[in-house]
Amino acid sequence: MLGSFGSSSHEEEEEPSPPNVYLHQIQPRSLASPPIHMRQLLISCAELISRSDVSAAHRLIGILVSNSSPYGDSTERLVHQFTKALRLRLNRGEQGCNDEALLQSSYLSLNQITPFIRFSQLTANQAILEAIEGQQAIHILDFDIMHGVQWPPLMQALAERFPPPTLRITGTGTDLDILRRTGDRLAKFAHSLGLRFQFQPLISDESISVTSSVVLLPHETLAVNCVHYLHRLLKDRDRLHLFLHRIKAMGPRVVALAEREANHNHPVFQQRFVEAVDHYAAVFDSLEATLPPNSRERLGVEQIWFGREISDIVAAEGENRKERHERFRSWEMMLRSAGFGNVALSPFALSQAKLLLRLHYPSEGYHLHILNNSFFLGWQNQPLFSVSSWR
């Protein structure tokens, strides 16, 4: 069973019944409705909005509101978030949370209560460490470094080498103050390890210009980190291709890539919506299975972090839509067209990822598998995230 809503194989699903049938059959506050039926109601509401049948959409939203709650089980919580997003799309209201402090707090909670970010960063770090083995001057270009939580474990591993190499990190972001604080924390940690370290903050509203601003020294070995970053560039594929070609021209020893395993970039709203419902159903199910019912951290992550993502995927269009995830096969084609080749992740990296799940997220629901030399982390039978290494 996939997520709360069964199979994600959309091609095999039956066509939904006419929306007016649902409106007559479902009465408000029928919280015992089976998950598959609630999924169909969400999809029917999205279809009504696509056809601009506003009055019927409003009636169905009322039913969905009565059958959902941010404090219920995983199905009720998921329906609540998607109903909010559908209402935003219908009303063209403001989308998602714009409170930066809340988002940062939610991101740190996400990093603690789910394996998604840790798995991505840990596996990317191992790919980088293996690619730079034996090099004495390392330069990491990290796109959107945020708080830099990925790097202390790698720094510790480098400090244990003899002789330890020098490390320079160029971290990009949109807030110079956050970048400087991140650099100060990393510098203090490096000093405690006796590791020679430099940090270069780089403001980047435009990814392509960043590639021209990075200072590359001839004796350094370059590693590029794109963990949950490249999907932001998908709104302009030509510029994304140019960005990848420029990264390739910099001659990196490795490019570490992590992305969602979902297609939230489909130009047809209804197909994008169905894909998002199934993806986040699995995510919410994983939170339901691994955290207590009254977890405040889970509530915050679902409503603020994932709620913002869902609102963006469902309610935003055109230039305003930021969450444009695509599946690994799309990234594979784009990277190969830019001249990159896939580098197999090592057995040690796989053992390390399995250990992470066993020690910190001991649930049988999480699973890892390897495809095309890359790792996929999923819940039950639904892949959710991929990590790959390129050169």
d(CA 336, CA 341): 6
Contact 130, 99 (CB under 8 A): no
Q: Stretch 173-194: mean pLDDT, rounded?
A: 96
> For the ranges 5-19, 113-127, 154-168, which has the lowest average pLDDT?
5-19
DSSP string for 309-358: HHHHHHH--GGG-------HHHHHHHHHHTT--EEPPPHHHHHHHHHHHH
d(CA 10, CA 264): 14
Q: Stretch 13-39: mean pLDDT, rounded?
A: 49
To which H or E segment does residue 281 belong? helix 269-290
d(CA 225, CA 136): 19
Helices marked H in 151-268: 151-159, 176-193, 207-213, 237-249
- Above pLDDT 70, what percent of the chain? 89
Q: How far is CA 252 from CA 131, 139, 173, 244, in A?
A: 10, 9, 20, 12
Furthest-apart CA pair in the chain: how many Å?
74
> For residues 166 and 33, which has the higher predicted lDDT (pLDDT)?
166
What pLDDT is stored for residue 326 in this prediction?
Answer: 97
Reduced to 3 states (helix: H, G, I; strand: E, B; else coil), residue 279 is helix
What pLDDT is stored for residue 1 in this prediction?
Answer: 34
Q: Stretch 375-384: mean pLDDT, rounded?
A: 96
Contact 210, 243 (CB under 8 A): no
Regarding the domain with residue range 115-262+323-390, which homologous superfamily does it belong to in the CATH classification? Vaccinia Virus protein VP39 (3.40.50.150)
Per residue in 128-180, pLDDT (tens digit) is: 999 999 999 999 999 999 899 999 999 999 999 999 999 999 999 999 999 99
Report the 10 Å Cβ neighbour count for 113.
19
Contact 117, 229 (CB under 8 A): no
Do the bridges between strand 197-203 and strand 166-173 make them parallel or antiparallel, or are there none, so unpaired?
Answer: parallel
Q: Is the pLDDT of residue 349 over 70?
A: yes
Q: What is the mean pLDDT of the chain?
A: 89
Contact 164, 195 (CB under 8 A): yes
DSSP 8-state class, residue 104: H
- Above pLDDT 90, what percent of the chain? 77
Distance of CA 128 to the CA centre of its chain: 20
Core vs surface per residue 85-110: b (16+ CB within 10 A) or e: bbbbbbeeeebbeeeeeeeebbbbbb
- What does pTM read for this prediction? 0.88
d(CA 343, CA 147): 28
d(CA 21, CA 44): 10
Domain boundaries, the chain: 10-99+268-319, 115-262+323-390
Helices marked H in 51-168: 54-66, 74-91, 100-113, 116-131, 151-159
d(CA 251, CA 223): 9
Per residue in 286-318, pLDDT (tens digit) is: 999 989 888 999 999 999 999 999 999 999 988
Which amino acid is present at 101? A
